[in-house]
């Protein structure tokens, strides 16, 4: 995984799908596990935004030279 925006968004979507699958079960998961997965989703989406901003910054720098 190189950390690209699309890979981070896929990771977030996968984690979200996993959490939704768990939520659809009759057996409740511990709150700490739910919070851990939700934090992973937020982090992956944040990394995707950061990566996009980084790429934009690089493009701007290249255009200046």
Mean pLDDT, residues 25-49 taken together: 90
Q: Quick check: 37 pLDDT over 70? A: yes
Mean pLDDT, residues 22-46 taken together: 89
> What pLDDT is recorded for position 2?
60
What confidence category does residue 23 fall into, taking pLDDT thresholds of 50, 70 and 90?
Answer: confident
* pTM tops 0.95: no
Q: How is 22-61 classified by DSSP, letter by letter? A: HHTSSSPPPHHHHHHHHHHHHHHHHHHHHHHHHHHHHHHH
Number of domain units in the chain: 1
The Cα 23–Cα 38 span in angstroms is 12
Nearest alpha carbon to residue 5 among 56, 60, 59, 47: 47
What are the structure tokens assigned to 5, written together?
């925006």
What confidence category does residue 46 fall into, taking pLDDT thresholds of 50, 70 and 90?
Answer: very high
Range(s) of the domain holding residue 42: 5-64
């Amino acid at each position: 995984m190189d950390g690209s925006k699309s890979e981070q968004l896929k990771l977030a979507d996968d984690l979200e799908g996993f959490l939704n699958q768990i939520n659809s079960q009759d057996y409740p998961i511990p709150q700490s596990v739910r919070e851990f997965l939700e934090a992973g989703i937020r982090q992956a989406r944040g990394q995707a935004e950061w990566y996009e901003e980084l790429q934009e910054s690089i493009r701007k720098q290249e255009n200046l030279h």
